[in-house]
Amino acid sequence: MNAVGGTPRWAWVAVLVADAAIVAYGLLVLVQPEQLTAGYESHTGTAWSEFVRLDPRSAEFDVFQFRLLGAYNVAFGLMAVAVCTTAFRRGEVWAWWALLFGNLVAYVAPMIYDLTVGEIAFFEVLEYVFLALVLVALVAARPGRQAIRSAVLSDWVPDEEVAPRSAPLGEGEHWVNRTTQTLR
């Protein structure tokens, strides 16, 4: 079943769930930044409590950075949810691309971090699950060649449609902008 303009309902709902999960994770980190200390412990082989005891100011700074990461997750997730429930749901091509690249960065960057520090637990596994969900949904909702062409050339039409000419135009000058009447 298509919603409003072309994106299958299950596809935009799947992307919505994955992006809402980013918001939820960001809120969790804002409230409990200590959730991220396992990565420190895996990477350094030192207990977080030992780090806090030896260098409390640095530990405090790291907790601040964890909260900042949570805030970025909330910000990205809210923007992605907004794009998903509006433009992507209507089938707008730019929204498809924005969700593709945005979700790739939002999920692959933490995956690289997790692999680097050696901490793969429940939330880290969910990253893989949600990224797969997003990619399957985006493949199912991918814009056709004509949709991409119309998004790029929306104001451009073949010159003959606007002002017929007796002689063919030179290479690269076959399009006229409907609005400005300029040649491309």
- Neighbouring CB atoms inside 10 A of 9's CB total 12
- pTM (predicted TM-score): 0.73
User: Which residue's structure tokens are 């805030």?
Assistant: 71
Given this model, what pLDDT does residue 121 score?
85
Burial class (CB in 10 A: 0-12, 13-18, 19+), 73: buried
Given this model, what pLDDT does residue 7 score?
85
Residues of the chain with pLDDT under 70: 1-6, 145-184
Given this model, what pLDDT does residue 16 score?
97
Convert the pLDDT of each residue in 152-179 to its tens digit: 555 555 555 555 554 455 555 455 555 5
Using CA atoms, how far residue 98 sits from 11, 65, 72, 88, in Å, is: 15, 26, 17, 9
Dihedral of CA atoms 3, 10, 86, 151 in degrees, nearest 10, equals -80
